[in-house]
């Protein structure tokens, strides 16, 4: 069975990771519901999520076009199992260094996921209004 990744949007940013051209992947199905969330659309349900192979192809294409980092945003608060998230991160980490932005307040859990998934940068914690 393939892993489905609840992608809401993707793009390129110069502001998420210092000195990096970052391919960002925003994940939907967020269950955190932080007060004053700056990205409330991330709580939207993703109806037709791509599989991991599709996300891998998108990230590889971004790398070919000059991206030198990947940011996975919302990776621990959207119903993806820990094992699947580790697989997603490990797969993307083979393409470029990866940053995991988590809305979870369980920092130790996020650190474990990041370490097992080969993450280079980790930002964790709910959004403070």
Q: How far apart are CA 109 and CA 115, in angstroms?
A: 10
Asked whether residue 116 carries a pLDDT value surpassing 80, the answer given is: yes
Whether 80 shows a pLDDT value over 70: the answer reads yes
Q: What is the predicted pLDDT for the residue at 129?
A: 81
Q: What is the mean pLDDT of residues 56-84?
A: 93
Q: What is the pTM of this model?
A: 0.93
% of the chain surpassing 90 pLDDT: 72
| Average predicted confidence (pLDDT) for the chain | 93
Q: Helix, strand, coil: what percent of the chain each, to 5?
A: 30, 20, 50
For residue 37, pLDDT beyond 90: no
Q: Please give, one letter per residue, the 3-state secondary structure of 38-92.
A: CCHHHHCCCCCCCEHHHHHHHHHHHHHCCCCEEEEECCCCCCCCHHHHHHHHHHH
Report the pLDDT value the prediction gives residue 123, as an integer from 0 to 100.
93
Angstrom distance (rounded) from CA 126 to CA 102 = 8
């Amino acid at each position: 069975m393939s892993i489905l990744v609840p992608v809401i949007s993707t793009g390129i940013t110069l502001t998420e990771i210092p000195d990096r051209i970052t391919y960002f992947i925003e994940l939907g199905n967020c269950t955190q519901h932080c007060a004053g969330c700056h990205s409330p659309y991330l709580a939207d349900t993703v109806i037709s999520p791509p599989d991991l192979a599709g996300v891998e192809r998108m990230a590889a294409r971004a790398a070919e076009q000059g991206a030198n980092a990947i940011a996975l945003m919302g990776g621990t608060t959207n119903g993806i199992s820990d094992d699947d998230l580790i697989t997603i991160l490990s797969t993307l980490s083979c393409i470029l260094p990866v940053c995991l932005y988590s809305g979870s307040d369980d920092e130790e859990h996020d650190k474990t996921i990041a370490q097992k998934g080969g993450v280079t940068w980790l930002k964790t914690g709910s959004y403070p209004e």
